[in-house]
Structure 1
Amino acid sequence: MAVSILIPAFNPDLNLPAYVRELCEAGFSHIVVIDDGSFQEKQEIFQRLETEYGCLVLRHAVNMGKGRALKDALNYYQVFLSRECSGVITADCDGQHTVEDIRRMGQAMEEHPDSLILGARDFDQKSVPAKSRVGNKLTRTVMRLFYGGKISDTQTGLRAIPNSLVEEYLTLPGERFEFETAMLLTALRRKTRIEEVPIQTVYLDGNKSTHFRPVADSWAIYKLILGTFFKYSLSSLSSCLIDFALFQLLLLALGSLSWEVKVTLATVGARVCSSLYNYAVNRQLVFSRGRLGKGTFLKYYILCAAQMLCSAGGVLLFCQWARLPELPAKIVVDGVLFFISYRIQRNWVFAERGEKEKS
């Protein structure tokens, strides 16, 4: 089947008509260009795309961002073109994605109809601007640390999205570049297979044509990546405060009992209440996207028991082998377990149901 090419464009230059001509000559006939609020002097370019090359041009009255442009194009595709095509390929308007690479992306999508296909650049080449090299490597390291998976190019605009994924991506958050990050995070969370196709690494004039805002757009991207972990940290902190407060209250309430019994009952009572609170908050607020799998309550308390045993064993190990005092050892061990617990809760305890479970 055919594929549709989606090209978001904001104030493009004359390279865009030449690029579209190459796509048409290569046999791509379903080309959708999104005019994302470009200036009036650029309208002649979009008119040429319509009259000379038969492109469909969707227009925004004002600049709304790359994410909104892509979602509007995906919505149009889903309604009007999805029966004629097997999926879409998104490409940037500056011509940095070669026609040959786009053809190879289409072939990869045909071979992997349920996978998200990414065009992966080589950021070790000398031609890559320093800010692009550092930015991509930092983002892919953070994503790997918090979400797993090995995505070598997290900022690529060349992506092939099969029909099986289009509707799912229509409702993702993000109006600018963070939408593309949301796409990756959703694929990782829902265990969607991600395939990478090596593509040419082309930067024109040091990537001057980019509309990426280093501070604002980076903040939006990292807010998406780290947002769940931040909520998880607040949930854990508030659980600790509740545990401490309940422990003190129960000690006062059990004043007539022996010290050993008071401490035992207060510890158990406070921990049960604080863990129930933590489970409820994590389930409803922290890991609440999508439909969660079954057995979250049992999985949560299995993890709690395992974490408690690992904490005790780890502290003992550090004290005996590394000769660390108890408090520093516990801080180190529990700090590592805190992060590991986050990954386990996100990937196992509160994992979203896979596509097969939903159907």
Structure 2
Amino acid sequence: MNSKDCVGIIIPSLEPDNKFLCLLKDLKESGFNNIFVINDGSNESYLSYYQKAVTEYESSLLTHYVNLGKGRALKTAFNHILNEYPKIKSVVAVDSDGQHRIEDIEKCYQASIKNEHALIMGCRNFSKETSEIPFRSRFGNIMTCKVLKMFCGIQLTDTQTGLRGISRELMKIFLTVDGERFEYEMNMILETRERNISIVEIPIQTIYIEENATSHFNPLKDSLRIYSLFVKFIFSSVSSFFIDIILFTLFTGLLSGASEHYILYSAYLARAISSLFNYQINKTKVFKAGDENHSALVKYIILCIVQILISSFATEFLFNQLNINVTGIKIVVDAILFLISFQIQRNWVFKKK
């Protein structure tokens, strides 16, 4: 039996051109026999491409009557393979626009066999200045990588690659991941963090044909979908921040004549109340730490005490030195502490085993 009989090639497709047929030809000549093409709602003028995919290149064709998105296309293929092809142990998802070379698909296939518990990602090199990479693609990918590292602690060189190797076990997991369109690929990456799944990066060629003109990725609309995934990581701290500031302003007004250290006391009270809210949201919604992490509360209390001391003393010190609006000073101080606190919570307080 051909060793490649245990791997499936998944090709989501919308309004293909001749590059799609060239890809199928190269795959067949390289010995890949299990090719699954998903027609994601292309209109009738493109049916000839799909007919050739079936008749000339013996591909399995799965069809969406309307465009449902790349995420849905991948999940349609995962479900079909899991139900109908028990001998397939892993799949490689490939873009239909000719950006992925056969040798790179081969490398991802080999890596998926050796690393069945890891997500394999064929990653392009965006660090070198080359005329082949459109500015929007370079900028968008580098920015997304930095945001992903900052908020999630996941360090990748290419977050938007469509060339991915996925084992049968991981297909079962990724079937349950939210997302129907391009945001699904980012959700897969985030799911690896939640499930402690490793990611193996495979260097591949960086190819952009015709300035990526045939891509259906909308850099504005789909980037907004991707970045919306990070809202949950800042909602808790921002909402807690506003609760803290409102309570601080209220307490300073009430205690201003009661003690010369009214700023310190106000900061303590405000932070204590807002911290209770922040801890619960961070534990259950942001970092999703289970109840087995018994030390999280102790670590969080230690962090809060240190933050309260730094915030209150820094606010009082700067107020005495600058003699400007004390609420404004606290906003600046706490904004800096917010960035530091998030990293500490992610890497220490709520770190999963």
TM-score using structure 1 length: 0.83
- Partner of 1:300 in structure 2? 300
What is the rounded CA distance, in whole Å, between the counterparts of 1:36 and 1:119 in structure 2? 23
What is the rounded CA distance, in whole Å, between the counterparts of 1:292 and 1:46 in structure 2? 50
Q: 2:134 aligns with which of 119, 129, 132?
A: 129
* SS of aligned partner of 2:125: coil
What is the rounded CA distance, in whole Å, between the counterparts of 2:98 and 2:67 in structure 1? 20
The 5 A counterparts of 1:47-66 are: 47-66=51-70
**Is the 1:101–1:199 contact (alpha carbons within 8 Å) kept by the matching residues of 2?**
yes
- Partner of 1:95 in structure 2? 98
- Partner of 1:357 in structure 2? none
Deviation for aligned residue 1:109? 1.7
**Is the 1:293–1:350 contact (alpha carbons within 8 Å) kept by the matching residues of 2?**
no
Q: 2:216 aligns with which of 211, 231, 243?
A: 211
What is the rounded CA distance, in whole Å, between the counterparts of 1:293 and 1:339 in structure 2? 26
Once superposed, what is the RMSD of the aligned Cα atoms?
3.4
* SS of aligned partner of 1:234: helix
Query: Is 1:198 matched up with 2:203?
Result: yes
For residues 95-126 of structure 1, the C-alpha deviation after alignment (integer angstroms, 9 at most, x for no partner) is 21111110111111222222111111123222
Query: Is 1:141 matched up with 2:141?
Result: no
What is the rounded CA distance, in whole Å, between the counterparts of 1:142 and 1:118 in structure 2? 18
Deviation for aligned residue 1:269? 5.2
> Aligned in 2, Cα 1:168/1:309: closer, same or farther, shift over 3 Å?
farther
The 5 A counterparts of 1:108-257 are: 108-123=111-126, 124=128, 125-224=130-229, 226-241=230-245, 243-244=247-248, 247=251
Query: What code does the residue aligned with 1:97 have?
Result: H
**Is the 1:173–1:182 contact (alpha carbons within 8 Å) kept by the matching residues of 2?**
yes
* SS of aligned partner of 2:293: coil
TM-score using structure 2 length: 0.84
Query: What code does the residue aligned with 2:140 have?
Result: G
> Aligned in 2, Cα 1:292/1:33: closer, same or farther, shift over 3 Å?
farther
What is the rounded CA distance, in whole Å, between the counterparts of 1:292 and 1:180 in structure 2? 29
**Is the 1:239–1:278 contact (alpha carbons within 8 Å) kept by the matching residues of 2?**
no
**Percent identity of paired positions between Structure 1 and Structure 2:** 41
What is the rounded CA distance, in whole Å, between the counterparts of 2:283 and 2:162 in structure 1? 33
Query: Is 1:105 matched up with 2:104?
Result: no
Deviation for aligned residue 1:140? 1.3
Deviation for aligned residue 1:333? 4.7
**Is the 1:67–1:174 contact (alpha carbons within 8 Å) kept by the matching residues of 2?**
yes
For residues 230-256 of structure 1, the C-alpha deviation after alignment (integer angstroms, 9 at most, x for no partner) is 31233323431564377479869xx9x
What is the rounded CA distance, in whole Å, between the counterparts of 1:42 and 1:89 in structure 2? 24
What is the rounded CA distance, in whole Å, between the counterparts of 1:315 and 1:263 in structure 2? 8
The 5 A counterparts of 1:266-281 are: 270-281=270-281
Which ranges in structure 1 are unaligned for 5 or more consecutive residues? 355-359
**Is the 2:108–2:202 contact (alpha carbons within 8 Å) kept by the matching residues of 1?**
yes
What is the rounded CA distance, in whole Å, between the counterparts of 1:102 and 1:61 in structure 2? 29
What is the rounded CA distance, in whole Å, between the counterparts of 2:142 and 2:72 in structure 1? 26
> Aligned in 2, Cα 1:269/1:138: closer, same or farther, shift over 3 Å?
closer
Deviation for aligned residue 1:221? 1.1
**Is the 2:121–2:202 contact (alpha carbons within 8 Å) kept by the matching residues of 1?**
yes
What is the rounded CA distance, in whole Å, between the counterparts of 1:234 and 1:185 in structure 2? 21
- Partner of 1:335 in structure 2? 335
Q: Which moved more, 1:157-166 or 1:7-16?
A: 157-166
> Aligned in 2, Cα 1:291/1:66: closer, same or farther, shift over 3 Å?
farther
What is the rounded CA distance, in whole Å, between the counterparts of 1:54 and 1:62 in structure 2? 24
What is the rounded CA distance, in whole Å, between the counterparts of 2:29 and 2:194 in structure 1? 38
**Is the 1:235–1:281 contact (alpha carbons within 8 Å) kept by the matching residues of 2?**
no
**Is the 2:112–2:120 contact (alpha carbons within 8 Å) kept by the matching residues of 1?**
yes
What is the rounded CA distance, in whole Å, between the counterparts of 2:131 and 2:83 in structure 1? 43
> Aligned in 2, Cα 1:260/1:22: closer, same or farther, shift over 3 Å?
same
